[in-house]
Structure 1
């Protein structure tokens, strides 16, 4: 959530960011969506075609293998029909050695005519229910069964055929126990129960063993890799993977849901590492399973899809570069206009916007330049008017008061006081004279902090005599700050407020502290008194008034509230800006008035 808020904040910071995001959503986002959908569709088509191809391969293998096994199944049926050979052998007394030898020759002749010289046939066999096994095999290594030392019925596949009610069988890959060191250890057995024509009962089982050469040829090539042929018990009939024929498929791939294949729930399933394509043969009850490693399929899809991805990325980058370039050209004059406005905001009215566009931005810049010119004219007129007004006011003041007359009168009173021995009166008159001379000096409004402090000292001199040592005053001012330039009459009214509203009527002895120090390259003057503290309502009211705009401050000052406070704050803000002025707080057990103004030290050495 914080990330989204930060992103929205970054977007809202500039028109350039908004334009770029707009281009992305209007142009680039559709390209990205189309590319993603096209890629997804392409991958799906590749997978679908690949699945179809693999399924077709499995269907071809299934058809070929069934035709191949059907040929052998027909051969076993021919044995069932052979009255002059197979029926004769089954109905003979094979316990008689002479008869048995004759039957062996008869069986070899029949088997030789039946299968010929096929190299995929390992042997042709006839098992009689009285326990004898007749064989015709090109392989010499056979266990002796005539003496019944070897019990073929102990073989699981033979036991299955004997116990089954079915007549014909195709037994998947297995090893024959009656062979000694065979060249092909695994064979497929095609078998049929033979019913005696004489008794109508099962007299024997005729079966043919074939090796896996044909299936190996059928699955030759790259497409045959990772194909498994499973029998109805899910034993592996054939695979190119060495050492796995005859094993249960679940031993090798326990995560593949082989039951879904058997129950025809799905033609395409998957485990953690492979896609599995399968086909089920109802007649044989065999399954054909093709394992496709997911990495292999991803590689095949990437070979086709990567050009599309790279094309989309290149288009995306190209459109992004174009959108940034176009957005930059649109916002560059706007940024220039904004920077110029910021300089004008800092009262630099000598700025002009150099934009020659013929569009709306160019028109806006032209009108802005006209506005600046008019502001400059108005400022000049207002400044000239103010100068004339001040000059007229000063002349009117001079016309009303004759300073020399006042000086001479005060000096005469001072002489009379000295003659009369009233030294305290003389001292007060001298202090009042200095204050009067300070107030009517025909100088600029800026004076040194030392002048202001001396003016306060003269005022304190008069008040100390009046209040008979009711309060003390302390000055905490660094020597280098005495020559700092300040506005005239900013300290005495605040000290006067401290005496009248704080010290007067205070039971304990009062203390006034005047402190000056540098704070962040500004001059901070603090006036504290330990007299009556301001009530919360009065303090909040004063703070609200001091935080008002200049027009409201002028109204408060005309009402005469809080002697001089509003006037001083208004003069400071008019002179230096709204950052500066007065602030009032209750500081611990004292009332604190802070005066903040720029630090301006005199260049000469006057103190």
Structure 2
């Protein structure tokens, strides 16, 4: 009988503990997804911010409806000079519509309920709104609204609608829900489903019970439904007004433990005979739950990496390489005509730096290419700091026998200038880049003569660099400086393994000497380089 009572207590305690663990890790996943959505819509807001003030748009909203030929020419110019450029920068745009207070329209957002008039849009509360999801035969899209303000009267005279493919949001939410019946949903500010596992529910109103739960502001609850108890969690974004809802059936969490509870009550006095069988059953359920929790942690890490990668790609995609190259070429031409040699040189250096930086960051290059890049970077810095002395002491044979990833050395040199000199109010004086063979790797060293870090901080860095756990770093080291060093170290360690990566040889009041351990004519390096260097 005591074992029977202990079994019931253990069942109640373990069930509660499992629910708490699932709530905790699911909450972390919701926060990660919420951050990704905020980043996605912030990029959309920035990309569409200047469109309403474009001279072609201003001319469109002011043009009288009777000028058919002039309107035709203007629409052609908007399509050629504005719309195609927007489509080039944002591959996820699937529709575009302009509406003026004079009932002029332009674009492809005029099918079914995806075509509100300007008067329908005048009730929007701000100049930028997420209208919600819309469906048509051609595509499923999220509509973004922007008010067009007259640049002379500063009154609203039109509206801009841009439709973005919902595929990006679908990709963010893939494989997040627990079990077969759990799901993730996104609700807009008007309490309609922007995304749901069932596409038939897109754009429909959410159940009233869910509205009450969201309005309560608690963040989570356990509700009784037709199919049993369910854990409901939700998180609302302050920047977008969107609410992410997660619903997980309790039976998906505790699995067969509920059946075990019924069996335990029924067998009563026979608990001692079947104890071994019941114990094994519990172990199976515990292992399954441990697997679910472990999977949640892995997905959380994966979403962090995806978020960083999407941020980097978003920043890269906002730069039009051809535009920048042409702009630099024009500046160089003007400087040449004016015989201003420093500007000519700096534009050439900057063009080389940009061309090198926007190339594939996962591609291996020879040390010679990386040194040429850092030389261009330091030449520009010397224009800023006239007294800065740069010394590059490398044997010519090593330049073609050592390989590494692009942009490995620049973060180390920037760290030396910013944290070795500028942070302490010093003008950058000496930057030395040297290297030598140090079996089984090539030791590339960056030395400055500014003020270094304390011995304890350097020791914590080296402990983190030498650790076998490449995805963990001492929380006390987290800052932009530390993350930059850690990213450089991780790129080398993940690609080539130990002992490659970073090591602080010396850091004191006389300066810092940072060592970069990279492959030296190893078979792995040669194979990487011949294949194009992608890992």
Where on the TM-score scale, by shorter chain, does this alignment land: which range? 0.3 to 0.5
**Which of the pair has the greater relative contact order for Cα pairs under 8 Å at 6+ separation?**
2
TM (norm. structure 2) is 0.44
User: Greater CA radius of gyration, 1 or 2?
Assistant: 1
